[in-house]
């Protein structure tokens, strides 16, 4: 049996919570293999960068980070011997990364990160073949392990070292996506949808709860189509509604939160499960992207504006005090001034609790990238600003209506704004993407659920007193 020399590993995790889970799984692998984790790149033997490639800004951040970490390998005052790059950028641009950044030693695809521990054990033994098989690599080029069709999905027995708050965790219930949205590259980067079993997810949730986790955030590329890869009929597969009811029986959990739901996949049973399962917080993240029917057709969203409007009415009528968060894309090819005006009017009338707007990013290899009638960059930026100004006023008004109300807050710890304040979130604030609630007039441990009375409101944050 080969003896693996313990190494010091430094991780950089970029991108979305789904990437964070992947990083935590890699941390678990290297820890289980006997390696140690360090908190500074110049202290490491190996640097691992988990990349994102969802939009141009994410790709630029990933490349900049790789180059920054590569500089440590060349520095005489640093110790790193190897640089490993994984994640979505590695999945999509393995050949280019290998050719352009020779400091990289190993490239792993978005679903190949489970091979990290083995890659570390192999040491510096580059191979001479790119994944395309079209050309031989120079000896200096890195080992490339990129599956053409990503297929891996973790289970509850996979070792995992969590980062961030001890009382809140992300749980990936499915990987990949089968939707044909014209602007999105994710199915090519993450592969087809593959869902975990209910018993497996519940087992993970029980393990997290035993570690002190009070809040689990369910994530997937398309949460509402959980289980659909096993069959189109609800009778022949697991459903998200079944999963929520099963998770609601995990005693130690307090909050179960839904992210990345899709509007056309809601059904009556799912809405009932959200409304009637006490531990499922009444917070729904449903990226709508647009409301004008011609735009929805160009985006290949697979539903009409009528479906969206009816869903919003149904959610609010059947789920008491529901908080709805959404996102929109402005400047998609072909978006006319009239279609953008329709989107603005929809946001104005819908009064979403949370909404974000992104300017369209060209993704080579997608259907949208080949469409005519591109919207100029300055027009996209102006539309984004206009839409967010509409939402800012709505968010402010909804927060001001909460002043004087008592809310339950999950305490994160001491506030970064002041040593005299604590900081937390009520159920309408998801970690990392929404605002926070500042707590005055008391000290409580991080991970506590406390009652507080709202005293002030801003566009995205609340202030509250612990003296209720």
Q: Given this model, what pLDDT does residue 126 score? A: 43
* 3-class state of residue 6 by DSSP: coil
Q: Given this model, what pLDDT does residue 232 score? A: 64
Which pLDDT tens digit goes with each residue over 66-96? 999 999 988 877 778 899 999 999 999 999 9
Which pLDDT tens digit goes with each residue over 54-64? 888 889 999 99
Following DSSP, what letter does each residue of 25-40 receive, concatenated?
Answer: HHHHHHHHTT-EE-SS
Is the pLDDT assigned to residue 33 strictly greater than 50? Answer: yes
Is the pLDDT assigned to residue 423 strictly greater than 80? Answer: yes
Two tokens, residue 450 = 């406390």
Contact criterion met (CB below 8 Å) for 92 and 189 = yes
For the chain, what percent of residues have pLDDT higher than 90? 84
Which pLDDT tens digit goes with each residue over 216-242? 999 999 999 999 998 766 677 899 999
Q: Given this model, what pLDDT does residue 2 score? A: 45
Is the pLDDT assigned to residue 136 strictly greater than 60? Answer: no
430, 435, 438, 255: CA torsion to nearest 10:
-10
Q: Given this model, what pLDDT does residue 127 score? A: 40
pLDDT level of residue 4 (50, 70, 90 thresholds) = low
Q: Given this model, what pLDDT does residue 275 score? A: 98
DSSP state of 48: E
SS percent in the chain: helix, strand, coil, step 5: 35, 20, 45
Which pLDDT tens digit goes with each residue over 322-334? 999 999 999 999 9
Is the pLDDT assigned to residue 396 strictly greater than 70? Answer: yes
388, 391, 392, 394: CA torsion to nearest 10:
170
Which of 226, 242, 146 is CA-nearest to residue 178? Answer: 226
Rounded to whole angstroms, what are the CA distances from 432 to 64, 175, 416, 439? 22, 21, 14, 18
Is the pLDDT assigned to residue 149 strictly greater than 50? Answer: yes
Phi and psi (nearest 5°) for 202? -65, -40
Is the pLDDT assigned to residue 128 strictly greater than 50? Answer: no
Rounded to whole angstroms, what are the CA distances from 6 to 27, 34, 124, 427, 451? 14, 6, 15, 42, 47
Mean pLDDT of 135-155: 73
Q: For the ranges 50-59, 141-150, 185-194, 275-284, which has the lowest average pLDDT? A: 141-150
How far does the chain reach from its first CA to its final CA, in angstroms? 63
The number of residues making up the chain comes to: 468
In the chain, the domains with their CATH numbers are 8-145 (3.40.50.12160), 168-400 (3.80.30.20), 406-465 (2.40.50.140)
Q: Given this model, what pLDDT does residue 56 score? A: 85
Which pLDDT tens digit goes with each residue over 164-203? 899 999 999 999 999 999 999 999 999 999 999 999 999 9
């Amino acid at each position: 049996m080969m003896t693996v020399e313990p190494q010091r590993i430094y991780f950089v995790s970029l991108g979305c919570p789904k990437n964070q889970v992947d990083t935590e799984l890699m941390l678990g692998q290297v820890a289980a293999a006997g390696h140690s984790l360090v908190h500074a790149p110049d202290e490491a033997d190996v640097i691992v960068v988990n990349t994102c490639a969802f939009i141009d800004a994410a790709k630029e951040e990933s490349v900049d980070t790789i180059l920054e970490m590569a500089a440590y390998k060349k520095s005489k005052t640093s110790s790193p011997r190897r640089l490993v790059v994984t994640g979505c950028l590695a999945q999509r641009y393995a050949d280019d990364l290998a050719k352009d950044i020779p400091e990289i030693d190993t490239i792993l695809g978005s679903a190949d990160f489970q091979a990290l521990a083995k890659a570390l054990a192999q040491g510096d033994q580059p191979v001479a073949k790119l994944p395309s098989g079209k050309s031989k690599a120079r000896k200096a080029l890195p080992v490339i392990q990129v599956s053409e069709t990503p297929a891996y999905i973790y289970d509850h027995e996979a070792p995992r070292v969590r980062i961030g708050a001890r009382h809140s965790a992300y749980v990936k219930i499915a990987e990949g996506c089968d939707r044909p949205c014209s602007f999105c590259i994710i199915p090519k980067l993450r592969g087809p949808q593959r869902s975990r079993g209910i018993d497996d997810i519940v087992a993970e949730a029980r393990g997290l709860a035993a570690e002190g986790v009070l809040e689990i955030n369910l994530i997937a590329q398309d949460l509402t189509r959980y289980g659909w890869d096993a069959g189109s009929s609800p009778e022949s597969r697991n459903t998200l509604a079944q999963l929520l009811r099963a998770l609601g029986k995990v005693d130690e959990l307090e909050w179960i939160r839904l992210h990345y739901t899709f509007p056309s996949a809601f059904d009556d049973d799912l809405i009932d499960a959200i409304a009637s399962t006490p531990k499922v917080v009444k917070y729904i993240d449903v990226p709508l992207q647009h409301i004008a029917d011609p735009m929805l057709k160009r985006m290949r969203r697979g539903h009409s504006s009528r479906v969206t409007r009816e869903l919003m009415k149904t959610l609010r009528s059947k789920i008491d005090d529901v908080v709805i968060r959404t996102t929109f894309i402005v400047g998609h090819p072909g978006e006319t001034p009239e279609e953008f005006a329709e989107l603005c009017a929809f946001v104005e009338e819908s009064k979403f609790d949370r909404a974000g707007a992104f300017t369209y990013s060209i993704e080579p290899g997608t259907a949208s990238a080949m469409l005519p009638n591109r919207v100029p960059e300055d027009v996209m930026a102006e539309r984004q600003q206009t839409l967010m100004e509409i939402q800012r006023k709505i968010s402010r008004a909804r927060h001001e209506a909460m002043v004087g109300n008592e809310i339950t807050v999950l305490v994160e710890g001491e506030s970064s704004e002041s040593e005299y304040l604590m900081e937390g979130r009520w159920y309408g604030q998801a970690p990392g993407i929404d605002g926070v609630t500042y707590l005055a007039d008391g000290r409580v441990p991080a991970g506590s659920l406390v009652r507080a009375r709202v005293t002030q409101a801003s566009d995205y944050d609340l202030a509250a007193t612990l003296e209720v």
